[in-house]
Structure 1
Amino acid sequence: MGENPKPVKPRLRTWIWVSVLVTVVCGGPLALLVWGAIAFGQAGDPKPVDCAQAMKWAQATLPKSARERRCATASWLDTYVTADFRMPRAEVAGWLAGTYPGTEPDKQEFCEPGLCLNVQYGQAVEPHGPVAVDVKVTYEGETALVRLRAFNT
């Protein structure tokens, strides 16, 4: 009537512990490897960001007349910030001179029909390291398409 249940055999208990140990030893690094692959695959993907924040990072301000604004940031080893917007063509020179004083736009062959500007900031100005800014302006009649790219070097 009061039969005792059969105790688990020592051999079965040993195999359970061996299985758990193998799972932890092999599964842990495998899970870490899968997580790393997923994180690495998403690294550097551009993410939308507020244009005021993006322009501040590039040591610039967004012109009041800017429209069709699109800004993004991407990070992996370096941080990249992009800002694309349109503004009146007549205001471009004044905006560039006020934003990056002391620099002259390059009127090179590859910038036609517009202009390019390359600026570099050193450690003293920028808290996250030296920053390079490339501005490319393409004229579209009375409008200018401005493409600003900033990245830490």
Structure 2
Amino acid sequence: MAETQTETPVEQTVPGRTRWGVFTAILAVPTLVVAGLIALLVAWLFTDDSVDTGVRKVSCAEAFAYGGAKPPTGARDLTCVLEAAQDPRYEARFRLRRAEVSAWVAASYPEGPGLRTVQCGGDGIDACMNQGPVAGQSASVQLEITYDSPNWSVVQFVAFTP
């Protein structure tokens, strides 16, 4: 018998698609998601998300006048703000020589209770005063004095409508 040889036909290779396109598409989706999250994080970090607290700087003459006083002469580091809520609340903070604090308080509030050294409410407060509204004034005043050094005091002045 004659043997017939079976030949395997040679496959022709035709350039075509590979699986790299599918692989790239699968990797592209998580990469884009991560890149989008990073872009959102960067945008969140660099945007101004401050909230208006209603606190603004004002002239100290205005703040003290609301409480029926004048700014002390010789005051240092004087800063004044207004908390504009339903009722205005003025705050002033300054440094004044210890020897001049009592004289300024007495000149500003001659009919007031004067400074006291007991029942001042907070730790580290060396003297305080609470002045309710009196004739000609629309605001109550609170003073807290802290001795900063042997010569200087830090004074917190608050004038508000009760």
TM-score band, normalised by the shorter chain? 0.5 to 0.7
1:140 aligns with 2:148: yes
1:96 and 2:89 matched? no
Correspondence 1:150 to 2:159: yes
Conserved in 1, the CA contact under 8 Å of 2:125 and 2:144?
no
Aligned to 2:47: none
Shift of 1:82: 0.3
1:121 aligned counterpart, secondary structure: coil
**Equivalence map 1:2-151=2 (5 Å):** 42=52, 45-102=54-111, 103-109=113-119, 110=121, 112=124, 114-122=126-134, 124-126=135-137, 130-141=138-149, 142-151=151-160
Answer 1 or 2: which has greater strand percent: 1
Shift of residue 57, structure 1, vs aligned partner: 1.0
Counterparts of 1:61 and 1:101, CA distance in 2: 13
Residue-by-residue CA offset, 1:61-96 (whole Å, 9 max, x unaligned): 111100101100012211100000001111111111
The 2-side partners of 1:78 and 1:91 are apart by 31
List alignment gaps of at least 5 residues for structure 1: 1-40
**Normalised TM-score (structure 1):** 0.64
What is the letter of the counterpart of residue 88 of structure 1? R
Q: Which runs of 4+ in 1 moved over 3 A?
A: 109-113
Q: Which has the larger radius of gyration?
A: 2
Superposed CA RMSD: 1.8
Q: Tell me which protein shows more helix as a share of its residues.
A: 1
SS at match of 1:146: strand
In structure 2, C-alpha distance between the alignment counterparts of 1:132 and 1:113, rounded to whole Å: 19
Q: Aligned residues: percent identity? A: 28
Distance in 2 separating the partners of 1:121 and 1:70: 23
With over 3 angstroms needed to count, the CA separation of the structure-2 counterparts of 1:113 and 1:133, relative to structure 1, is closer
Residues 83-115 of structure 1: per-residue CA shift (max 9 Å, x gap): 000011111111111111122222125465520
Deviation digits for residues 7-43 of structure 1 (CA, Å, limit 9, x no counterpart): xxxxxxxxxxxxxxxxxxxxxxxxxxxxxxxxxx74x
